[in-house]
Structure 1
Amino acid sequence: MHSEEESTFPTTFVDVGGYHLAAFCSGSGSPTVVLDAGMGDTSEVWYQVQENISQFSRVCSYDRAGIGQSESGPLPRNSQTIVNELHTLLKQAGLPSPYVLVGHSFGGFNARLYASQYPDEVLGIVLIDSAHPDFDLVGQLPPEEPGENQGLHEIRAVLKQETQETKNPEGIDPVASAMQVRSIPSLGTIPLVVVTHTSETWIEMLMNGFPGFPRELAAKLDHAWQEGQQCLLSLSSQSTQMVAQHSGHYIHHDEPELVVQAIRNVIAMAQVDQDTIYG
């Protein structure tokens, strides 16, 4: 997608336990902003966001094991595996905390788990249309039937891959990952910004991407997703929501400037918090 631009970010290959992950860092200063993509996505999806963040802070994207320029890691994989790898990567690469963790979709699982296990390292979190472990989108669909609408069939296959099965490009076990994240009831006072798509835009994109998919089912899926977004706000006593007016699920692609603003906002929230504590 952005292969030519991606090469403008220096590449570092980091040993995280006998295999190497590719990290792409740019900019300078503190905090270090860490970008974690959705399932099956490489660091390339962050290009526009990273280019902007590097103007005011240190920022790093990376390819998880088995995709992009990174080597494969041991299977099975889940969010805990990924958090272990990311923690090692950041230390081995000499990338200092505090971190602002930015997670899209499945990447939101990893950000939450990392923050719960290393709270002293995390300045704030930005969740971009993040998945929620308690919302079963496949369960929102009617029972599978032979000869069902092609759009419905394709949506079902995508959702199953991301929430029920391990047959995804990274070999991730989404069920185990959801259980790990579900065990975290709260992130305390860590500043949190939840960035969410607008319903109508997402519904239109879903119907265009999967022709024939019924609008009423698209609306039902979106309603469940929006409920999950509201629940994410309860993870921290310092949380706020930003709504992307012109985006589908890939807000960092459709409205990168909004994601950059969310990152600025969470840094500002953390600074206010520190000023309050230390006077």
Structure 2
Amino acid sequence: MFKIFAFIILLFVVILLAVYINHRIRLDKEQELLVPLGEMISVDGNNMSVYKEGSGDKTLVFLSGGGTCSPILDFKSLYSLLSDEYQIVVVEKFGYGYSDVVDRDRDIDSILDDTRKSLEMAGIKGPYVLCPHSMSGLEALYWANKYPDEVTAIIGLDMAVPQYYENMKINIPLMKVASFVANIGSHKINTRYFGK
């Protein structure tokens, strides 16, 4: 019985290793296709992607929620309809879209500071109309309270508010498993790998 169990574990590890190696090879091949859509702004020595489009007297700043892979593309169907009348800006926070992944604390103060610095470095002056999606609603509300002269309005896109998070139970172990799955590439497994 022990030999069967050990064999199954070994087989599982070999499969995970093969998936991981395949994932890394594909990521290397895809790297040359990844051309930033926005301007890469240096914020504290790291690159942050800021996309600008359109013109107008008001500047709409789109802020993405958690888990948005590419905010520039995610919001495109909306902001492309508005860019004739407004200046559109999409800020890709660190770890999102084309922005660098950074290994440092990501509390609301540091996230807001990075966003404000990226806008300043890109030459985008306020005041802004903030368009936060999901958990970026917290950042937008905090921004409006801390720097009221910089924010003229907030247009929430399925925006979260602080009361939502008060009773929310975040499953940290599940989040770590999801992160592991994404990092090894097993989320990309589908029938094309098996010749179907």
Interval of TM-score (by shorter of Structure 1 and Structure 2): 0.5 to 0.7
Matches within 5 A, 1:1-279: 11-41=38-68, 42-43=70-71, 44-135=73-164, 136-138=167-169, 160=171, 167=176
Q: Partner letter of residue 35 of structure 1?
A: F
Q: Shift of residue 73 of structure 1? A: 2.6
Assess if the C-alpha contact under 8 Å between 2:56 and 2:84 holds in 1.
no
Which residue does the alignment assign to 1:258? Answer: none
Residues 213-251 of structure 1 show CA distances to partners (whole Å, capped at 9, x for unaligned) of xxxxxxxxxxxxxxxxxxxxxxxxxxxxxxxxxxxxxxx
Assess if the C-alpha contact under 8 Å between 2:91 and 2:115 holds in 1.
no
SS of residue in 2 equivalent to 1:128:
coil
Q: 1:166 to 1:81 in 2, by over 3 A?
A: farther
**TM-score after normalising by structure 1:** 0.46
Larger relative contact order (CA 8 Å, sep ≥ 6): 2
Assess if the C-alpha contact under 8 Å between 1:30 and 1:98 holds in 2.
no
Residues 130-149 of structure 1 show CA distances to partners (whole Å, capped at 9, x for unaligned) of 223233244xxxxxxxxxxx
Q: Shift of residue 31 of structure 1? A: 1.3
After superposition, the CA RMSD in angstroms is 2.4
Structure 2 alignment gaps of length 5 or more: 1-33, 180-196
Q: Structure 2: how far apart are the matches of 1:165 and 1:15?
A: 33
Residues 62-118 of structure 1 show CA distances to partners (whole Å, capped at 9, x for unaligned) of 211012110123422122211000100111100011200011111101111111121
Q: How many residues align?
A: 140
**TM-score after normalising by structure 2:** 0.64
Q: Structure 2: how far apart are the matches of 1:116 and 1:166?
A: 30
Q: Shift of residue 165 of structure 1? A: 8.8
Q: Partner letter of residue 102 of structure 1?
A: C
Which residue does the alignment assign to 2:183? Answer: none
Structure 1 alignment gaps of length 5 or more: 1-6, 139-158, 170-279
Percent identical residues = 26
